[in-house]
Amino acid sequence: MDNDWLFTQTEKDIQVSEMTIRRLPRYFRYLRELVEQGRIRISSAELSKMMNVTASQIRSDLNQLGDFGHMGYGYDVNYLFKRISEILGVREGMTAVIIDSGDLGRALVQTTLFVRRGIDVLALFDGIGDRAGTAINDIPIISLSKLETFCETHKVDIAVLTCPKEQAQVISQRAADCGVRGIWNYTGRELHPEGHPQIIIENVHLGDSLMILDYKLRTQDKRNGSEKANV
């Protein structure tokens, strides 16, 4: 199992593991808050407490990104934030389409998620057909039957899949055949478009965090129950 190390940053010849990459957006959010508060330095112990991650995990993650803190002095907050922003950095010119234009698709297009990443949402595609011709936030809704024609005349990097899971395989295959390079997958289905081994798929499983919340509530119930039983 060596595919824990997937990514190579060529500039500084460093390797960042998949699991560390997955944690970077969280570091990004906490550090942004510290920068806004005007903090200059932070120890791995304090960051550990804030983020509820062990200090050794933090040191191991940040060591992969370069040489930051000096023993006993803590991390330079601004420099660390800048470095993580660079790695996760925004590059203009990335484009996306959303398939389809149901409530979830419409909800996503109205967030600032794409704008903040410099990703330009070109269109929503409508599978049902009665929404095509309208627009949301000036982004046109187009009939799904026109996906291929659209992709011939527009460079589309990312397809955001919010369609029903029954359609997930067929639509992801069509998107990949159209030259889409990445899929942000909300369908709950594992996707394997044939003939496109390079395609990058990022799955969002909303149910996972509901399971965790539900589990924690039930565990709390049990604890409270057993405390009562012990009285």
178 lies in the binding site for a second copy (CB under 8 A):
no
Q: Cα dihedral sign for 197, 202, 206, 212?
A: positive
**Contact characters 140-159, a second copy, x per CB under 8 A:** -----------------xx-
Nearer to a second copy, 135 or 145 (CB): 135
> In the set 52, 137, 152, 231, which binds a second copy (CB under 8 A)?
52
The residue among 202, 206, 182 whose CA lies nearest residue 18 is: 202
Selected from 13, 36, 209, 228, the binder of a second copy by CB under 8 A is 209
The answer to whether 191 and 182 are in contact (CB under 8 A) is no
Would you count residue 208 as binding a second copy (CB under 8 A)?
yes
Least Å distance between CB 10 and a second copy?
Answer: 5
Among 26-34, 35-43, 140-148, 168-176, the segment contacting a second copy (CB under 8 A): 26-34
Q: Which stretch binds a second copy (CB under 8 A): 64-72, 110-118, 127-135, 137-145?
A: 110-118
**Cβ atoms < 10 Å from Cβ of 165:** 12
Among residues 102, 140, 173, 177, which is the contact residue for a second copy, using CB under 8 A? 102
Distance, in Å, from the CA atom of 150 to the CA atom of 163, rounded to the nearest integer, reads 18
- Shortest Å distance, C-beta 117 to a second copy: 5
Please name the residue that has the structure tokens 């990445």.
Answer: 182
Q: CB of residue 100 vs a second copy: minimum separation in angstroms?
A: 12
* Stretch of 73-81, 122-130, 168-176, 218-226 contacting a second copy, by CB under 8 A: 218-226
Beta-carbon neighbour count of residue 198 at 10 Å? 7
Can you give the binding site for a second copy, defined by CB under 8 A?
A: 1, 3-4, 7-10, 18, 21-22, 24-26, 28-29, 48-49, 52, 54-55, 87-89, 91, 94, 102-104, 106-108, 110-111, 113-114, 116-117, 119, 157-158, 181-182, 184, 198, 200, 202-220, 222-223, 226
